[in-house]
């Protein structure tokens, strides 16, 4: 059986270790060992552990890629509510899977500083999906499907913030489960948000 390329093995190993140990406690040496590579091979493919973390988020977790999720504002393919439901579902999945990895950043202030600097250098960050959803809603405003004057950035922040909170809040409950299924949550969130945005 053919072995996966080193880059793929490194991303797989990093993903697994970051889920089980957390980003802060995972070393590049451990990632390389788990991938069956040398640490030098890791640095041949990635500039830093932070860059590898960003690649894990991009390649191993559900995407919040609005260009792929949406058929295009005003295209008439789906309603605004349906589009927001699709975004909410993907965002909730993304935060659910990335939260265990990202949470360890906040335990290590210096690592978080390095991570934030790496994200800025790579042109990435948690603000981009908010901006993307806001841009989508502004396009829907122009098309007359969202109320003029509605604060699209606040609406995008509320939508994605609720999705992130879902990943964080329910592990402490008696069952460890959210009160709604993912599909029900996404549909309810989109419907509720749209009540403040509708024409």
Average pLDDT over residues 77-82: 86
Report the distance separating Cα 43 and Cα 12, nearest Å. 15
CA 166 from chain centre, in angstroms, equals 13
pLDDT range class, residue 149, cuts 50, 70, 90: very high
Question: Is pLDDT at 96 greater than 70 in this prediction?
Answer: yes
Which whole number is the average pLDDT over 89-117?
77
Structure tokens at 197: 């945005």
Residue 122's pLDDT is: 67
Residues near 155 by beta carbon (within 8 Å), at least 6 away in sequence: 133, 134, 137, 193, 196, 197
Whole-number Cα distances in Å, 2 to 23, 26, 83: 29, 27, 41
| 3-state secondary structure (DSSP) of residue 160 | helix
State the DSSP code for 172. G
The pLDDT, as a whole number, for residue 59 is: 79
**CA 24 to each of CA 53, 74, 76, 155: distance values in angstroms, whole numbers, following the listed order:** 11, 43, 45, 32
Q: What is the mean pLDDT of the chain?
A: 83
pLDDT of residue 19: 81
The residue count for the chain: 199
Read off the DSSP letter of residue 144. T
Residue 115 pLDDT > 80: no
* 145-151, Cβ contacts within 8 angstroms, sequence gap of 24 or more: 145/73, 145/74, 145/79, 145/80, 145/199, 146/80, 146/197, 146/198, 146/199, 147/197, 147/198, 147/199, 150/196, 150/197
Give me the mean pLDDT over the 88-106 stretch: 80
| Alpha-carbon distances, residue 108 vs 114, 118, 125 (angstroms) | 10, 15, 18
pLDDT at 173: 65
Whether residue 57 is predicted with pLDDT greater than 70 in this model: the reply is yes
The CA distances from residue 37 to 19, 33, 40, 67, 156, in Å, are 20, 6, 8, 35, 41
Q: Which of 116-125, 156-165, 190-199 has the highest mean pLDDT?
A: 156-165
CA angle at 18 for the pair 12 and 23, rounded to the nearest 5°: 135
Is residue 72 predicted with pLDDT exceeding 70? no
């Amino acid at each position: 059986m053919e072995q996966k390329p080193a880059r793929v093995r490194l991303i797989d190993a990093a993903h697994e270790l970051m889920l089980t140990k957390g980003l802060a406690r995972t070393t590049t040496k451990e990632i390389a060992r788990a991938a069956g590579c040398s640490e030098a091979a890791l640095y041949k493919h990635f500039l830093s552990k932070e860059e590898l973390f960003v690649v894990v988020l991009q390649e191993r977790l559900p995407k919040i890629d609005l260009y792929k999720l949406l058929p295009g504002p005003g295209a008439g393919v789906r309603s605004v509510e349906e589009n927001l439901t699709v975004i909410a579902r993907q965002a909730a999945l993304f935060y659910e899977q990335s939260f265990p990895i990202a949470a360890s950043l906040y335990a290590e202030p210096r690592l978080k500083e390095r991570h934030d600097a790496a994200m800025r250098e790579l042109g990435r960050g948690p603000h981009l999906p908010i901006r993307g959803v806001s841009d989508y809603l502004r396009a829907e405003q122009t098309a007359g499907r969202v109320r003029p004057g509605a604060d699209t950035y606040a609406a995008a922040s509320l939508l994605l913030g609720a999705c992130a909170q879902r990943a964080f809040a329910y592990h402490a409950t008696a069952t460890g489960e959210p009160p709604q299924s993912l599909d029900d949550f996404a549909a309810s969130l989109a419907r509720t948000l749209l009540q403040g945005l509708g024409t």
